[in-house]
Amino acid sequence: MEKKAIVVGAGLVGSLWAVLLAKRGYTVDVYEMRDDPRKAGFLGGRSINLAMSTRGWKALEKAGIKEKIREVAIPMRGRLMHDEAGELSFQPYGKEGQAIYSVSRGGLNIELIRIAGQYKKLQFHFSKKCLGVDLRAGTAHFEDTHTGERISAEASLIFGADGAFSAVRRSLMKLPRFNYSQQYLEYGYKELHLPALPDGSHAIDKNALHIWPRGQFMMIALPNVDGSFTGTLFLPFDGPANSFEQLQTDEQVEAFFRENFPDSIPLIPGLLDDFRTNPTSALATIRCLPWCYEDKVLLIGDASHAIVPFYGQGMNSGFEDCSILDELMETHRDNWPKIIEIFNQDRPKDTNAIADLALRNFVEMRDQVADPRFLLRKEIEAYLNEKYPEDFLPLYSQVTFSHIPYSQALAEGFAQDRLFDRILAIEGIEKNWRVNPEVDEVFRQWMREREGMG
Amino acid sequence: MEKKAIVVGAGLVGSLWAVLLAKRGYTVDVYEMRDDPRKAGFLGGRSINLAMSTRGWKALEKAGIKEKIREVAIPMRGRLMHDEAGELSFQPYGKEGQAIYSVSRGGLNIELIRIAGQYKKLQFHFSKKCLGVDLRAGTAHFEDTHTGERISAEASLIFGADGAFSAVRRSLMKLPRFNYSQQYLEYGYKELHLPALPDGSHAIDKNALHIWPRGQFMMIALPNVDGSFTGTLFLPFDGPANSFEQLQTDEQVEAFFRENFPDSIPLIPGLLDDFRTNPTSALATIRCLPWCYEDKVLLIGDASHAIVPFYGQGMNSGFEDCSILDELMETHRDNWPKIIEIFNQDRPKDTNAIADLALRNFVEMRDQVADPRFLLRKEIEAYLNEKYPEDFLPLYSQVTFSHIPYSQALAEGFAQDRLFDRILAIEGIEKNWRVNPEVDEVFRQWMREREGMG
């Protein structure tokens, strides 16, 4: 069999996947709608920084650029919450030494394209907008975004890594019995720039993900290597109060920030300009099934499972697609009918789970992190994890610091909710839990019940 | 305000809705892709008979053709189950005198078009395929299916009643933040013809909906006025056994029927021809939101909420859309911004509920109706309904024989499940429930708990 593939999309997932295919000896042609970011500079469609965690690192390691990216990634060891009075509270993400990493989307994408460009049999075709795929023939059609010229390309394998608005998926949608769902949040987001101090250093703690949780809305900020932070305001589009609809004038924006995020105002000198200039973007969850057409066409990344950003797992889950496929290539050699069958069968339950977890984490970030009971639960989780490392790994750690399938983590999360319903119901728990033997008793009872069920 | 409306689609919901608009003095233009069924004969896109129940009758009454349709409708008082040995068991749908009615889709549609045609200000335009709607301008575009001629029509109100594959909805889908979902069952269906006896009478009991429940699949049959029945086989598309995939040859079809539906074989003399000739069709649930564009465009019926057929509520829920809108017109006069806002706000929760109920009823029909415990529950439901008519109305009756909002019925259904978990757990319940005071005790306890919660 000719080892030849087309990858539609040279975003994070597409360019990483092209590298992994090239490493296994495939001739790869990658078609990307945007101009070459190595020349044009990066013009992303989405937020400018990302939180890389364990699943993402694994795929970068496979691609051979883990160390290089690690050098410019900024570890964030936990959440740093800012209350209305500017008071801070910290909640670690994992154990000592564990962190998620703030990474520049543009920088990472360019690095992936550079590494891919080193493979002789891998070729990029930029400024080529995909018009669709002729599934049966295995032909993809493109239009040059500058000249309007139309070209077609053929391969026995076509990968759609062309994101949430995938043109390849649009072709699959014409198949009978194609399942599809796009669900938007009532919330939009707007990016805001928090510049570096004059000496180039970070104005606030750079080793944390900053959150201003306000119940029904929130702002967050992630560190960049140049000393700046990228802030993102998440707010309902519409509504009589605290909505983008209500923030039309400079005065309204200023009053809203003074009331809700006073300590951020000195950090965002260009607030009013940013607010006027930057778009208010929407947030969607996209699911579909099947992800494939026979053994010819396969969707990966956002093209088949776009999720909301609140668990920091969008890129990580897309990269995990690549790792899993790479391992299936290892196991089944180039038996693509088998590889695609297994992937289409096994993977969607996990991406559905992370889609659900991401929606659920929005409530956690904007609301629960400001709740002392929630922070208490996190402390007790850390305690149980330390004392019973074999038996208890908090949900957040399963998702972020492990390769446990997302669907298994989600199921475990529900079980852990039941455990903490009981632990947090112990009288006086907030005062004395470190010395209260009941915590361990409830935990061991929960363990016994689970073993009984298993 | 000019009282002018366009209705896209002259199916059941479109033509009924056109009648109700015309009755309130609107000038109505109805555009339909198919040819005029009054001349061409009816060529339906879906199954040829329907189960009319309370919600549907109400809308027909508003349109003034309830009596006329009632005369040719066949009451089905319950389910008549056929087991593998051809043994029958009957389970009534409701109380004495209650029934759902088998109605011919084609006959009903033609009757609605006839009644609509009597309104001077209502005009039908057949053989006009909708190409889309320019939402802002309020213009709908059509192509004549015979001449290819393109025409446009304008109105301040455009209703999309153009079914599950709605072209009007396709135009709404281009709006930002449009929520959409299409989910297919793994099951297909195929219609089969059970002819009348030589004397024109029905070969099996005509006053029942016949079910051959076989766990993972089933066949059903509904009576027609000409003495025939329309049978429908519901079977997985794919799979190693009992799937359409496995029924490729005449021999396979015959063997499958001999094994699973032996008593039906003499009833379907054209089985092998029907099986080869009739299509195997898919079953989808379609949901979207919003259903409207501003106060200009509104989707109704299958265009906004297509459901699987297992509760017999597809047409009934579409007709209920019309009744509700008619009542909103009554209350809010011609204040369409208000009418559309309320309808788009309140109605989707009910159509989502009937979508869920319809999916759930498939399991009931193909599997549970063959279970003695299920039939026992139905008997006890009837007993409780008779003894406590104010306090207990079975879920099926709420959906079928009442105007209780579907979402309320669904919630009530979950509560009733909890009640029957307890009743059916009573020891020896199957033997002595008619004289066992525990049934009433459990019921009254359940009522008390619900009142406490209320």
* Confidence tier at B48 by pLDDT (50, 70, 90): confident
Closest CA to B314 of B325, B323, B303: B303
Q: Same domain, yes or no, for B111 and B15? A: yes
Q: Whose CA is closest to A12, among A158, A141, A82, A115?
A: A115
Q: Do A184 and B179 touch (CB under 8 A)?
A: yes
Q: How far is A167 from chain B (nearest CA, A)?
A: 15
The alpha carbon of residue B445 is apart from the nearest alpha carbon of chain A, in Å, by: 27
| Residues forming beta bridges with residue B305, ordered by sequence position | B287
Task: Provide the CA A131 distance to its chain's centre, in angstroms.
Answer: 27
With an 8 Å Cβ cutoff, are B180 and A184 in contact? Answer: no
Of B176, B180, B182, the CB nearest to A282: B176
Taking residues B255-261, what's their average pLDDT?
A: 98
Report chain A residues whose CB lies below 8 A from the CB of B184. Answer: 177-179
- Closest partner residue to B177 (CB to CB) among A176, A181, A282 is A282
| B96 found inside a domain | no
Q: Measured between CA atoms, how close is A182 to chain B, in angstroms?
A: 5
What residues of chain B lie within 8 A of the CB of A182, using their CB? Answer: 178-181
Per-residue pLDDT, A188: 97
- The residue behind tokens 């995990």 is A320
Percent of chain B with pLDDT over 90: 94
Same-domain pairing of B417 and B331: no
Residue B277 within any structural domain of the chain: yes
Confirm if B8 and B14 have CB atoms less than 8 A apart.
Answer: yes
Q: What is the pLDDT of residue A40?
A: 74
Closest CA to B443 of B402, B369, B385: B385
Q: In this structure, are A13 and A157 located in the same domain?
A: yes
Whether residue A322 contacts residue A20, with contact meaning beta carbons closer than 8 Å, is answered with: yes
DSSP letter at A208? S
Among candidate residues B282, B300, B320, the one where a domain is terminated: B282
**Same domain assignment for residues B142 and B202:** no
Do B68 and B130 sit in the same domain of this protein?
yes
- Selecting from B182, B237, B282 the residue whose C-beta is nearest the C-beta of A180 gives B182
Using CA atoms, how far apart are residues B234 and B244, in angstroms rounded to an integer? 9
**Phi, psi (rounded to 5 degrees) for A139:** -120, 130
Q: Rounded to the nearest 5 degrees, what angle is found at the Cα of B424, between the Cα atoms of B354 and A415?
A: 70
Contact A176 B282 (CB under 8 A): yes
Over residues B169-184, the mean pLDDT reads: 97
Contact residues, chain B, for A176 at CB < 8 Å = 282
The tens-digit pLDDT sequence of chain A (454 residues) is: 679 999 999 999 999 999 999 999 999 999 999 999 998 776 555 568 899 999 999 999 999 999 999 999 999 999 999 999 999 999 999 999 999 999 999 999 999 999 999 999 999 999 999 999 999 999 999 999 999 999 999 999 999 999 999 999 999 999 999 999 999 999 999 999 999 999 999 999 999 999 999 999 999 999 999 999 999 999 999 999 999 999 999 999 999 999 999 999 999 999 999 999 999 999 999 999 999 999 999 999 999 999 999 999 999 999 999 999 999 999 999 999 999 999 999 999 999 999 999 999 999 999 999 999 999 999 999 999 999 999 999 999 999 999 999 999 999 999 999 999 999 999 999 988 988 999 999 999 999 998 876 5
Does residue B45 have a pLDDT over 60? no
Q: Which one of B361, B395, B425 terminates a domain?
A: B361
Beta bridge partner(s), residue B35: none
Q: pLDDT value at position A453?
A: 66
| Residue from B175, B181, B286 to probe the interface with A (highest A Cβ count within 10 Å) | B181
Beta-carbon contacts of B216 under 8 Å, excluding residues fewer than 6 positions away, are B236, B242, B366, B367
Chain B partners of A179 at a C-beta cutoff of 8 Å? Answer: 182-184
- Give chain A's radius of gyration (CA, Å): 23
Q: Please tell me whether residues B296 and B314 are part of one structural domain.
A: yes
Q: Is residue B88 part of a domain?
A: no
User: Is the per-residue pLDDT at B42 higher than 90?
Assistant: no
Q: Are A344 and A351 in contact (CB under 8 A)?
A: no
Rounded CA gap, B177 and A6, in Å? 31
Tell which of B172, B173, B182, B289 to mutate to test the A interface (max A CBs under 10 Å): B182
Cross-chain Cβ contact B183/A178 below 8 Å: no
Does the structure show a pLDDT above 90 at B33?
yes
Among B165, B183, B244, B245, which would you mutate to test the A interface (most chain A Cβ atoms within 10 Å of its Cβ)?
B183
Q: Do B179 and A182 touch (CB under 8 A)?
A: yes
Q: What is the CATH number of the domain that holds A316?
A: 3.50.50.60
Residue written as token pair 């709006």: B175
Residue of A nearest to B237 (CA): A177
Decide if A389 is inside a domain.
yes
- Spatial distance between the Cα atoms of A301 and A14, rounded to a whole number of angstroms: 8
CB contact under 8 A, A176 and B237: no
Residue B453 has pLDDT above 70, yes or no: no
Banded pLDDT at B451 (limits 50, 70, 90): confident
Residues of A within 8 A of B182 (CB-CB) are 178-181
Record: contact B177-A183, CB cut-off 8 A: no
Residue in chain B closest to A183 (alpha carbons) equals B179
Distance, in Å, from the CA atom of B231 to the CA atom of B102, rounded to the nearest integer, reads 13
The residues near B377 (Cβ < 8 Å, ≥ 6 apart) are B420, B423, B424
Nearest chain B residue to A284 by CA distance is: B177
Residue B95 lies in a domain: no
A residues 274-293 lying closer than 8 A (beta carbon) to B: 282, 284
Do B150 and B197 fall into the same domain? no
Helix axes B314-332, B54-63, angle to 10 degrees: 50
Question: CB B225: neighbour CB atoms within 10 A?
Answer: 17
Statement to judge: residues B195 and B256 lie in one domain:
yes
Distance from CA of A189 to the nearest CA of B (A): 13
Q: Determine which helix (DSSP H) or strand (DSSP E) holds A210, and give its type and residue range.
A: strand A209-213
At B334, list the tokens.
């011609």
Residues whose CB falls within 8 Å of the CB of residue B192, separated by 6 or more in sequence, listed in order: B219, B230, B231, B232, B233, B268, B270, B271, B274, B275, B278
Query: CA–CA separation, B275 vs B252, rounded Å?
Result: 11
Q: How many degrees, rounded to 5, is the angle at CA B329 between CA B323 and CA B335?
A: 145
Residue A309 DSSP class: G
Beta strand extents in B14-77 (DSSP E only): 27-31, 49-52, 74-76
Q: Quote the longest CA-to-CA distance of chain A.
A: 73
Comparing alpha-carbon positions, the chain A residue that sits nearest to B188 is: A177
Of B177, B184, B282, the CB nearest to A184: B177
Instruction: Choose, out of A165, A173, A174, A179, the residue to mutate when testing the contact with B (most B CBs < 10 Å).
Output: A179
Q: Terminal CA-to-CA distance of chain A, rounded, Å?
A: 45
pLDDT given for residue B41 in this prediction = 72
**Nearest residue of B to residue A186 by CA position?**
B177
CB contact under 8 A, A181 and B181: yes
- pLDDT for B118 equals 95
| Chain centroid, CA B186 distance in Å | 19
Strand partners, A182: A286, B180
- As a whole number of angstroms, the distance between CA B349 and CA B413 comes to 15
For residue A177, give the nearest of B176, B178, B184 by CB distance. Answer: B184
Residue pair A208/A51 in contact (Cβ under 8 Å)? The answer is no
CA angle centred on A306, ends B238 and B237, rounded to 5°: 10
- In 3D space, the residue among B56, B62, B67 whose CA is nearest the CA of residue B23 turns out to be B62
Q: How far is B72 from chain A (nearest CA, A)?
A: 35
Residues of B in contact with A178 (CB under 8 A): 182, 184
Q: Enumerate residues 6+ apart whose C-beta is below 8 A from B260.
A: B84, B212, B214, B217, B242
The total number of structural domains in chain B stands at 3
| Residue contact B184–A180, C-beta within 8 A | no
Q: What is the pLDDT of residue A316?
A: 98
Alpha carbon of B353 to those of A152, B13, B311, B409: distances in Å?
46, 19, 12, 8
- Write the residue in B179, B237, B282 that is nearest to A183 by C-beta: B179
Q: Which residue in B151, B169, B152 sits closest to B160, CA to CA?
A: B169
Residue B90 lies in a domain: no
- Could you please report the per-residue DSSP string of A107-166? HHHHHHHHHHHT-TTEEEE-SEEEEEEETTTTEEEEEETTT--EEEEE-SEEEE---TT-
Q: Do the interacting molecules here have an ipTM over 0.85?
A: yes
How many interchain CB pairs under 8 A, A with B? 30
Q: Which of B251, B282, B313 is the last residue before a domain boundary?
A: B282
In terms of pTM, does the model score above 0.95?
no
Would you state the pLDDT for residue A49?
86
Q: How far apart are CA A341 and CA A302, in angstroms?
A: 19
Q: Say how far residue B337 (Cα) sits from the centre of its chain.
A: 29
DSSP conformational letter for B69 = H
Say whether both B293 and B215 belong to one domain: no
Say how far apart CA A443 and CA B7 lie, in whole Å. Answer: 62
Instruction: Reply yes or no on whether the pLDDT at B222 is more than 90.
Output: yes
Nearest CA distance, A307 vs chain B (angstrom) = 14
Cβ distance of A182 and B184 shorter than 8 Å: no
Same domain, B308 and B335: yes
Minimal CA separation from A289 to chain B, in Å: 9
Q: Å from B70 to nearest chain A CA?
A: 36
Q: Which candidate, A344, A290, A355, A364, places its Cα nearest to that of A317?
A: A355
Disruptive mutation site among B174, B179, B187, B237 for chain A (greatest number of A CBs within 10 Å): B179
Q: Which two tokens stand for residue A74?
A: 């900024």
Kindly give the pairing relationship between strand B157-160 and strand B297-299: parallel
Q: Are A181 and B177 an interchain contact pair (Cβ–Cβ within 8 Å)? A: no
A332 and A441 belong to one structural domain: no
Residues of A in contact with B290 (CB under 8 A): none
Q: Is the pLDDT of residue B2 over 90?
A: no
Question: Residue B311 falls within a domain, yes or no?
Answer: yes
Q: Is the pLDDT of residue B1 over 80?
A: no
Q: By CA distance, what is B173's nearest residue in A?
A: A182
Cβ–Cβ below 8 Å for B181 and A176: no
Q: A181–B180: do the CB atoms touch at under 8 Å?
A: yes
The token pair at A247 is 């923030």
Which tokens in the block code for residue A274?
Answer: 């940013």
CA–CA dist B142, B132 (Å, integer): 7
- The answer to whether residues B125 and B168 belong to one domain is yes
Domain with B376, as residue range(s), is: 371-453
Neighbours of B297 (CB within 10 A): 27
The answer to whether position B98 is within a domain reads no
**Parallel, antiparallel or unpaired: strands B27-31 and A218-223:** unpaired
Burial A397-415 (b: 16+ CB within 10 A, else e): bbbbbeebbbbebbebbee
What is the separation of C-alpha A418 from the centre of its chain, rounded to a whole number of angstroms?
27
Q: Which of residues 175-204 of B touch A (CB under 8 A)?
A: 176-184
The pLDDT tens digits of the residues spanning B69-116 come to: 999 999 999 999 999 999 999 999 999 999 999 999 999 999 999 999
Alpha-carbon A37 to chain mean position: 21
